A and B are shown apart, each in its own frame.
Chain A
Amino acid sequence: MTRRILIVFAVLGMVAAALGYYALRLKARAAREAQAAAEQQVAVTPPGNGPAEPVTLYVASDSDGTLHKMQVSAVLPAERSERDRAVLRTLMAQYTKPESGHPVGAGSDIRQVYLMEDDAAVVDTNSSFAEAHPSGVLAEELTVASVVLTLNANDNKIQRVKILVNGQERDTLAGHADLRRFYLASNIGQVVGGLALPDRDVVARRATGNTQ
Chain B
Amino acid sequence: MHLLRSRRPLGEKHKHVWVSLGLIAAALLFWRLATVHAQSPDQLTVYSSQTTYSAALLDVKGVPYVGLVDVMEPLGSIDARPDGKKYKLRFTPPGGHAVEAQFTEGKEKAKVLGEELKLPANFVLQNARGYVPLSAVPAILTKLLAKPVQLHAAARRLFIGDIAERFSVELDKGTPPKLTVSFPAPVNPTIATEPGRVRFTFRREPVVSGGQDTYKFDDPVITGATFSEHDGLAELDVAATSPLLANFADGGKTIIMAAAPPPPPPTPAAPVSPPAAQPSAPAAAAQPKPPAAPRFLVILDPAHGGTDSGAAITPSLAEKDVVLTLARRVQRELANRGIAAAMLRNSDAAITLDQRAVTTNAARPALYIALHAANTGRGVHVFTAMLPATDLSRTGFLPWDTAQAAFLDLSGVAAGSVAAELENRKLPNIALVAPLRPMNNIAAPAIAVEIAPPDEKVEDIAGAQYQEQVAQSIAAGIAAVRGKLPEVRP
Contacts and interface: CB of A to CB of B under 8 A. Distances in A.
Interface of A: 3-4, 7-8, 11-12, 15-16, 62-65, 134-139, 141, 144, 171-172, 174-178, 181, 183-184, 187-188, 190-191, 204-212
A16 B379 CA distance: 50
A212 B481 CA distance: 10
A20 to B, nearest CB: 12
Given A12-B23, A63-B378, A141-B435, A207 B430 contact: yes
B431 A211 contact: yes
B376 A178 contact: no
B269 to A, nearest CB: 57
Contacts of A176: 372, 434, 436
9 contacts: A63-B377, A137-B434, A141-B435, A175-B304, A177-B434, A187-B386, A187-B387, A210-B420, A212-B416
B376 A138 contact: yes
Nearest to A190: B433
B96 to A, nearest CB: 33
Contact of B416 (A11, A16, A211): A211
Interface in B280-327: 304, 308, 310-312, 319
A134 B450 CA distance: 14
B436 A62 contact: no
Contacts of B419: 207-209, 211
B interface: dominant SS:
mixed
B239 interface: no
B431 A136 contact: no
Given A63-B377, A172-B437, A204-B432, 17 more contacts: A3-B5, A8-B20, A11-B20, A15-B24, A65-B432, A134-B376, A136-B375, A136-B376, A137-B372, A137-B450, A139-B376, A176-B372, A191-B432, A209-B417, A209-B420, A210-B416, A211-B431
Contact of A138 (B304, B386, B450): B450
A144 B435 contact: yes
A15 B27 CA distance: 13
Interface string B393-420: 0000000010000000000110111011
Contacts of A191: 386, 432-433
B440 interface: yes
Contacts of A204: 430, 432
A137 B433 contact: no
Interface of B: 5, 16-17, 19-21, 23-24, 304, 308, 310-312, 319, 353, 372-378, 381-383, 386-388, 401, 412-413, 415-417, 419-423, 429-437, 440, 448, 450, 452, 481
A210 to B, nearest CB: 7
Contacts of B372: 136-137, 176
Contact of B374 (A4, A7, A135, A144): A135
Contact of A212 (B16, B311, B413): B413
Nearest to B477: A209
Nearest to B449: A137
B239 to A, nearest CB: 49
Would you list the 10 A-B pairs with minimal beta carbon distance, nearest first? A136-B374, A209-B420, A207-B431, A211-B416, A135-B311, A11-B20, A212-B416, A209-B419, A62-B376, A65-B430
Given A62-B376, A63-B377, A178-B440, A136 B450 contact: yes
Given A63-B377, A135-B311, A181 B423 contact: no
Contacts of B378: 63
A174 B420 CA distance: 29
